[in-house]
Amino acid sequence: MSSNTPPAANTTTSIADERILVLDFGSQYAQLIARRVREQNVYCEIVRHDISAERIMEHAPRGLILSGGPSSVYADGAPRCDPALFQLDLPILGICYGMQLACDALGGQVESVAAREYGRTRCTVTADDPLFAGIPPESDVWMSHGDQVARVAEGFVPLAQTNTCPIAAVRHQSRPVFGLQFHPEVTHTPYGKQVLRNFLMSICGCHGTWKLGDFAREAIETVRARVGNGRVICGLSGGVDSAVTAALLYQAIGSQLSCILVDNGLLRLNEADAIIREFTDHFKTDLHVVRGEDHFLKVLDGIDEPQEKRRRIGHAFIDCFRAEAERIEGVQFLAQGTLYPDVIESGAAPDGPAATIKTHHNVGGLPEQLGFELIEPLRDLFKDEVRRLGTTLGLPDEIVWRHPFPGPGLAVRCLGSLSREKLDTLRHADEIVVSEIKQAGLYQKTAQAFAVLLPVQSVGVMGDARTYENAVVIRCVDSDDFMTADWSRLPYDLLARMSTRIINEVKGVNRVAYDISSKPPATIEWE
């Protein structure tokens, strides 16, 4: 058991009072593990797999989770953790590769097996243990491994098995070290959340005291202390991240906040008006609206290559934003809606996993060019947490639950070269798709729904006349994390209504298709 003493139930806690660290060994599910922990109201961070034991103790965690990963523990160059971790008397839960690593580090043996397990598998609990409290003797679990623990060292006790994996879960008798060969964090393991809850509450001694309301209060106090009497500018894009950032800042510093909306002509129908209404009537911020449609269409004229579109849109945005920011006196800070996945993937976190570093538009470029200090009040949150925080801060559902929208806007949903006419056509079709999804009560049950305008025309018949007009594709997907997505099985009558309305109401369209591609191999967006 952990040597840390849990706080009293009525103690006012901060983020650091109950913290779990996930050591990332390259798992595609590392972020999902952290989200599942936070769903239990326990704060969780993802850190490098090779973080030192000394650095871990500076974080003061209640426990550690060793993630899965694509490597074999016996391979040359396989990622390892600091061996001193197992001497810290901190509860440790190894998942898949993490279990194999823990068993190997403490004297066990891991081998490649002929009977590999991928997908749902029936698992049987073979020993009574707090880790499996409330779990049926048999249940489905999700496996994804070609290696497994062939032999455990003295002191380890097997806790579960499958038909082909005799050691599907283990614990150490004298150390608080546990292992699961299956993945409790995925929805395909029905009792996985309960297993994680058992580890967090029964083994790590957590109470689930982390609440978004507490986070909001701490973030507001932190912003007030840092900003003082200074002025902050925040860019509004129409997305939930920037809207929640602005709402939180408004509650922290009120009239010291100036917001800038660059209306680039690439937003959804009436999107700019909704933002203006919310941040002038409700929050009463100092809102600056840049009407930049003509400028953006000029720099995009004749451009059909997707990456060049993105590059030009990015430069045009910075030009418009900088010009407006220079008109606002006394600005010292720039606020951005950077989220925790952005921080992890950019390598910006001090202890963040290095293997997944990539450039991200939310964590670089603009602050350096404008010369302002950067404020990122949401950088510790996942998207679902940001939505809940938005509701807590009083934002309407229209903004909080708005489907994600690409940074380049409709430019990457209008394939080929752009024009004002094409964008208006797409905007109208997109509004029909979204309104029908909402009318059917499916908007919050789907992850993303939108229209795509193809640079393709086809023959049709309207009345007695032959037509040769545009084709629109409807794209609607289901996803938990947007790393993978599946096409939504929408009712046929709903698809029929959308198609009929688009063809009848949107001038220049005579054909509608439905995209039934999953990610991977396709992406959610078309460009």
- Residue 259, both tokens: 């917001």
Give the pLDDT score at 368.
Answer: 59
Place of tokens 């068993």: 103
**376 contacts: CB under 8 Å, gap ≥ 6:** 335, 336, 337, 338, 343
**417 contacts: CB under 8 Å, gap ≥ 6:** 300, 301, 302, 303, 304, 455
Kindly tell me if the per-residue pLDDT of 354 is higher than 50: no
Region of 372 on the Ramachandran plot (φ > 0 left; ψ -120 to 50 alpha; else beta): beta
Alpha-carbon Rg for the chain, nearest whole angstrom, is: 26
Angstrom distance (rounded) from CA 329 to CA 138: 66
CATH no., domain 212-400: 3.40.50.620
Q: Give the sign of the dihedral formed by CA 195, CA 339, CA 238, CA 496.
A: negative
Query: Domain spanning 15-203: which CATH class is it, in words?
Result: alpha beta
Contact by Cβ (8 Å): 239, 51:
no
Give the pLDDT score at 482.
Answer: 72
Rounded to the nearest angstrom, the gap between the alpha carbon of residue 474 and the centroid of all alpha carbons in its chain is: 23
Place of tokens 């009072």: 17
Give the chain's mean pLDDT: 88
Residue 375 dihedral angles phi and psi, to the nearest 5°? -120, 125
39 CB burial (10 A radius; 0-12, 13-18, 19+)? middle
Active site residue 39: no
Nearest 5°: the CA angle 485, 486, 491 is: 140
Angstrom distance (rounded) from CA 385 to CA 383: 5
Spans of all domains in the chain? 15-203, 212-400, 413-514
Q: Assign 288 to helix, strand or coil.
A: strand
Place of tokens 């899965």: 68
In this structure, what DSSP letter does residue 485 have?
A: B
**Same fold? 15-203, 212-400:** yes
Pick the catalytic residue: 44, 49, 81, 96?
96
As a whole-number percent, the residues of the chain with pLDDT over 70 amount to: 91
Region of 200 on the Ramachandran plot (φ > 0 left; ψ -120 to 50 alpha; else beta): alpha
Kindly tell me if the per-residue pLDDT of 365 is higher than 60: no
> Over the stretch 263-288, which tens digit does the pLDDT of each residue have?
999 999 998 988 898 888 888 889 99
> Over the stretch 392-429, which tens digit does the pLDDT of each residue have?
888 888 888 889 888 889 999 999 999 999 999 999 99
Place of tokens 């639950």: 401
Active site residue 185: yes
Q: What is the mean pLDDT of residues 115-119?
A: 74
- Indicate the fold that domain 413-514 takes in CATH: GMP Synthetase; Chain A, domain 3 (3.30.300)
> Helix, strand, coil % (nearest 5) of the chain?
35, 25, 40
Residue 73 dihedral angles phi and psi, to the nearest 5°? -65, -25
Angstrom distance (rounded) from CA 42 to CA 390: 20
Nearest 5°: the CA angle 282, 287, 293 is: 120
Q: What is the mean pLDDT of residues 32-37?
A: 91
- For residue 149, CA distances in Å to 145, 165, 403, 447 come to 11, 8, 43, 38
Q: Assign 17 to helix, strand or coil.
A: helix
Rounded to the nearest angstrom, the gap between the alpha carbon of residue 214 and the centroid of all alpha carbons in its chain is: 21
439 CB burial (10 A radius; 0-12, 13-18, 19+)? exposed
Pick the catalytic residue: 49, 145, 172, 183?
183
In this structure, what DSSP letter does residue 411 have?
A: G
Pick the catalytic residue: 185, 376, 436, 527?
185
> Over the stretch 75-96, which tens digit does the pLDDT of each residue have?
999 999 999 999 999 999 999 9
> Over the stretch 440-449, which tens digit does the pLDDT of each residue have?
999 999 999 9
Kindly tell me if the per-residue pLDDT of 383 is higher than 50: yes
Q: What is the mean pLDDT of residues 236-245?
A: 87
Active site residue 183: yes
- For residue 427, CA distances in Å to 68, 77, 270, 444, 452 come to 43, 51, 9, 21, 9
Confidence of residue 464 (pLDDT cuts 50, 70, 90): low
